[in-house]
Amino acid sequence: MTDDLTRLPAAELAALLTAREVSSVEATRASLNRIAAVDGDLHAFLHTAPEAALRTASEIDRRRADGYDVGPLGGVPIAIKDVLCTKDMPSTAASKILEGWIPPYDATVVARLRSANLVPLGKTNMDEFAMGSSTEHSAYGPTRNPWDRDRIPGGSGGGSAAAVAAFEAPFALGSDTGGSIRQPAAVTGTVGVKPTYGGVSRYGAIALASSLDQVGPVSRTVLDAALLHDVIGGHDPRDSTSLDELWPSFADAARAGRAAGDLTGVRVGVVRELGGDGFQAGVRQRFDEALAVLAAAGAEIVEVSAPHFEYAVAAYYLILPAEASSNLAKYDGVRFGLRVEPEGGGTVEQVMAATRGAGFGPEVKRRIILGTYALSAGYYDAYYGSAQKVRTLIQRDFDAAFASSDVLVSPSAPTTAFTFGEKMDDPLAMYLNDITTIPANLAGVPGMGLPIGLAPEDGLPVGIQIMAPAREDVRLYRIGATLEALLEEKWGGPLLDRLPELETAGSAHLAPPPGPGTEPDGGTR
Amino acid sequence: MPDETSAITTDQVQHLANLARIALTPDEIAHLAVELGSIVDSVRKVTEVATPDVPATSHPIPLQNVFRQDVVGEVLTPEQALAGAPDSFDGRFRVSAILGEEQ
Q: Are A359 and A340 in contact (CB under 8 A)?
A: yes
* Domain locations in chain A as residue ranges: 2-309+391-498
Contact A372 B43 (CB under 8 A): no
Check whether the bond before A156 is cis (ω within 30° of 0).
yes
Count how many residues are written for chain A.
525
CA distance A110 to chain B (A): 17
Beta strands in A335-487 (DSSP E): 407-411, 447-454, 461-467
Question: If chain A, 525 residues long, is cut into consecutive pieces of 10 residues, what is the mean pLDDT of each piece?
Answer: 80 98 98 97 98 98 97 98 98 98 97 98 98 97 98 98 98 98 98 98 98 98 98 96 97 98 97 92 98 98 97 97 97 95 90 97 97 92 95 98 98 97 88 93 98 98 98 98 98 96 67 40 36
As a whole number of angstroms, the distance between CA A284 and CA A411 comes to 7
Which of A406, A401, A480, A383 has the alpha carbon at shortest distance from A439?
A401
Contact A241 B63 (CB under 8 A): yes
- Chain A residues within 8 A of B60 when measuring between CB atoms: 197, 211-212, 391, 395, 441-445, 470
- The amino acid present at A277, given as its one-letter code, is D
CA distance A421 to chain B (A): 17
DSSP A86-121: -TTS---TT-GGGTT---SS--HHHHHHHHTT-EEE
As a whole number of angstroms, the distance between CA A162 and CA A160 comes to 6
Contact B76 A104 (CB under 8 A): yes
**Inside any domain, residue B85:** no
- The amino acid present at A281, given as its one-letter code, is A
Contact B23 A353 (CB under 8 A): yes
CA distance B93 to chain A (A): 7
Q: What is the CATH number of the domain that holds B15?
A: 1.10.20
The 3-state DSSP class for residue A243 equals coil
| Count of structural domains, chain B | 1
Of A348, A369, A386, the CB nearest to B50: A386
Q: How many CB atoms lie within 10 A of CB B90?
A: 5
Contact B22 A198 (CB under 8 A): no
Rg of chain A taking only CA atoms, in angstroms: 22
Share of chain B above pLDDT 70, in %: 91
Q: Which domain holds residue B26?
A: 10-48
Catalytic residue IDs of A? 81, 156, 180
Q: How many A/B residue pairs have CB atoms within 8 Å?
A: 191
**Residue A72 neighbours by CB under 8 Å, 6+ apart:** A14, A18, A227
Write out pLDDT tens, residues B28-81: 999 999 999 999 999 999 999 999 999 999 999 988 888 988 999 889 999 999
Question: Taking every pair of C-alpha atoms in chain B, what is the biggest distance, in angstroms?
Answer: 56
Model-wide pTM > 0.80: yes
Surface of A (22-61) touching B: CB under 8 A? none
Mutate to test the interface with A, among B22, B31, B79 (most CBs of A within 10 A): B22
ipTM exceeding the 0.95 mark: no
| pLDDT number for residue A514 | 42
**Please, what is the Cα angle at A423 between A422 and A429, to 5 degrees?**
140
The helix (run of H) or strand (run of E) holding residue A391 is: helix A386-404
| pLDDT number for residue A365 | 98
- Chain A residues within 8 A of B80 when measuring between CB atoms: 104
Contact A369 B100 (CB under 8 A): no
Of B57, B80, B97, the CB nearest to A392: B57
Contact B97 A345 (CB under 8 A): yes
Q: In what order do the strands lie in the sheet with A119-124?
A: A45-48, A119-124, A77-81, A171-176, A214-219, A191-194, A447-454, A461-467, A407-411, A267-271, A300-304
Question: Chain B within 8 Å of A345 (Cβ-Cβ)?
Answer: yes
| pLDDT number for residue A433 | 85
Mutate to test the interface with B, among A318, A373, A438, A471 (most CBs of B within 10 A): A373
Identify the bridge partners of residue A148 per DSSP, sorted by sequence position: A145
In angstroms, what CA-CA distances link B74 with A105, A124, A142, A170, B71? 11, 28, 37, 33, 10
**Inside any domain, residue B32:** yes
Does the domain made of A2-309+391-498 have the CATH classification 3.30.70.1070?
no
Of A347, A353, A445, the CB nearest to B97: A347
**Inside any domain, residue B56:** no
| pLDDT number for residue A66 | 97
Of A311, A349, A352, the CB nearest to B46: A311
As a whole number of angstroms, the distance between CA A523 and CA A123 comes to 11
